Amino acid sequence: MNAKELIDKLYETSNLTDEELRFLLQADASIDEYLFERADCRRKEIYGNDVYLRGLIEISNYCKNNCYYCGIRCGNNKLERYRMDKETILECCKQGYALGYRTFVLQGGEDPYFTDEYICEIVGEIHATYPDCAITLSLGEKEKESYQAYFEAGARRYLLRHETAGEEHYGKLHPENLSLAHRKQCLFDLKEIGYQVGTGMMVGSPYQTVDDLIEDFRFMQELDPEMIGIGPYLTHLDTPFASFENGSMELTLRLIALLRLMFPYALIPATTALGTIHPTGREQGLKAGANVVMPNVSPTDFRKLYSLYENKICTGDEASHCRGCLEARVRSAGYEIVCAVGDSAKEKFRA
């Protein structure tokens, strides 16, 4: 089969063999126009022109982990650390709510200061104040009981990228105390509890191979996530990977399109990392199949300090500016921002 036939097969069956996926992953740029067109068509069948907003609150840049790629790793002693208190987080939600956001994403490093009790208190208060909003957590690997407690407090979504499904590759990106098996277990625990689960990987991270990407697809087929977040790997100079090159926008866009066709119902963000690697990266991400954007609602003083990688965008802008800027970008790509909770359409369509 040629590339066009393979894309048609993927559109019809949402699956391909490893060899067929390898072919599409390695093909030259001539396949992208048709691939993106098919992915956009699939996205429109399910989500129309809608783009959902997630108000991102980066609650802490303390982290007990030492992932080799990440700027907020505990071993980076050049970074000024911060954590928000409950009042600041609630103030971010207030601002976000006024701007039309109906999902709040609380993301941070694995910071033991945020005990389960404190997380539940914060989640409970957001839930009580904004019962019409979804609360998403992205606070790393926890015990199942902790995830259960957050769920009972009102959280309904959890983002935990698996980072790479290749066992050997995982070992090259992380210190020995972290394991792919545990990260996967966390994702299955979250599913079992009833969370809408998001996973994903960095594109072009050091040592990543095409086979790793195929393993990523296979793992995600097993997990069946509601959300898939991918973005290019971007180098941070104060990490052991300082000398590695950034991942590419082109491969990230191709993966977004392949993911849209393999996981038609997935909520796929056009990420900040994609906007960082290219001025119109997020717009191009939307045209390749993404349907979510994540405006930052953290106080501007903290944004630069949540420094996962170099040159992160939107660090100086007020929340209201981000809202206007994103709306214009989404429109320019041909889509419409909607102020809705924006659940995955999976259940609705399967029913």
Q: Which residues bind ligand SAM (CB under 6 A)?
A: 69-70, 72, 107, 109-110, 138-140, 160-161, 163, 202, 231, 233-234, 236, 273, 308-309
308 or 330: whose CB is closer to ligand SAM?
A: 308
The least distance separating ligand SAM from the CB of residue 235, rounded to whole angstroms, comes to: 6
10 or 72: whose CB is closer to ligand SAM?
A: 72
The least distance separating ligand SAM from the CB of residue 66, rounded to whole angstroms, comes to: 12
16 or 273: whose CB is closer to ligand SAM?
A: 273
31 or 89: whose CB is closer to ligand SAM?
A: 89
Helix (H) or strand (E) holding 284: helix 281-287
The least distance separating ligand SAM from the CB of residue 14, rounded to whole angstroms, comes to: 25
Are the C-beta atoms of 173 and 163 separated by less than 8 Å?
yes
Dump the DSSP string for 299-341: -HHHHTTS-SSTT-SSSS--HHHHHHHHHHHHHHTT-EEE-S-
Q: Which residues of 180-219 are buried (b: 16+ CB within 10 A; e: fewer)?
A: beebbebbebbbebebbbbbbbbbbbbebeeebbbbbbeb
Q: Return the structure tokens found at 145.
A: 């009981």
169 or 236: whose CB is closer to ligand SAM?
A: 236
Q: Which of 134, 146, 290, 182 is nearest to 227 (CA)?
A: 290
242 vs 78: CA distance, rounded Å: 14
The least distance separating ligand SAM from the CB of residue 4, rounded to whole angstroms, comes to: 32
The least distance separating ligand SAM from the CB of residue 234, rounded to whole angstroms, comes to: 4
Q: Return the structure tokens found at 186.
A: 């966390």
Q: Which of 293, 205, 296 is nearest to 255 (CA)?
A: 205
Between the CA of residue 217 and those of 14, 104, 108, 189, 211, what are the distances in Å? 11, 27, 26, 20, 10
The least distance separating ligand SAM from the CB of residue 270, rounded to whole angstroms, comes to: 14
The least distance separating ligand SAM from the CB of residue 12, rounded to whole angstroms, comes to: 31
69 or 151: whose CB is closer to ligand SAM?
A: 69
66 vs 174: CA distance, rounded Å: 7
Q: How many CA atoms are closer than 13 Å to the CA of 58, on its beta-carbon side?
A: 25
139 or 322: whose CB is closer to ligand SAM?
A: 139
107 or 208: whose CB is closer to ligand SAM?
A: 107
Q: Return the structure tokens found at 216.
A: 């990523």
The least distance separating ligand SAM from the CB of residue 111, rounded to whole angstroms, comes to: 9
CB atoms within 10 A of CB 129: 12
